[in-house]
Amino acid sequence: MVVLTIPGRIVAKQSVRFTKTGHRYQPGEIVNYHARCAHFGTMAMAGRAPITGPCRMSVQIVLAIPVSWSKKRKASHKWCVAYPDLDNSLKAIFDGLKGIVFTDDKQIVEVMASKRYGQADKVIVEVVALETQKPEAP
């Protein structure tokens, strides 16, 4: 099992952009977010090899409550229904942790995700290997 916390606001996956000459590129903010995920994933793995088999992932996206909200509104809102979308946020996390926590995001066979308000922006990720890989017989 691997548990990691990625501090800061989540950056949702965005569509690939194209230049006038037809070259594809990812916007800089998503590239930076992938690097941040990779950094904290590397720290959590502490030198271990990536998970190679099927895995379950639990993701809690916590977004800071807007300071402009009244105390009454802050107390009544638990779930965040604002930007960013949950599915696009998961894609960004999957891509950022690919090759570090797990070999490829196709290995993720079960996901539990939530997006809620809290004190500070952060993402808490837990990845559990569902099967231990058996060494191949010679």
Residue 107 is predicted with a pLDDT of 92
Residues near 128 by Cβ (< 8 Å), separated by ≥ 6?
1, 2, 55, 56, 57, 58
Over range 86-108, report the average pLDDT.
92
47 touches 102 (CB < 8 A): no
Between residues 86 and 69, which one has the greater pLDDT? 86
Q: Residue 135: pLDDT above 70? A: no
Lowest-pLDDT choice from 32-36, 57-61, 122-126, 133-137: 133-137
89 touches 115 (CB < 8 A): yes
Q: What is the pLDDT of residues 67-84, one digit of tens each?
A: 888 888 878 778 877 788
Q: Please give the CATH topology (third level) of the domain spanning 2-129.
A: 60s Ribosomal Protein L30; Chain: A; (3.30.1330)
Is the pTM for the entire model greater than 0.85? no
Average model confidence (pLDDT) across the chain = 87
Residue 118 is predicted with a pLDDT of 87
Q: pLDDT-based confidence at 137, cuts 50/70/90? A: low
Residue 3 is predicted with a pLDDT of 95
Over range 34-58, report the average pLDDT.
94
Helix-helix angle 86-97:28-45, to 10 degrees: 60
Q: Residue 89: pLDDT above 80? A: yes
Q: What is the pLDDT of residues 8-17, one digit of tens each?
A: 999 888 777 7
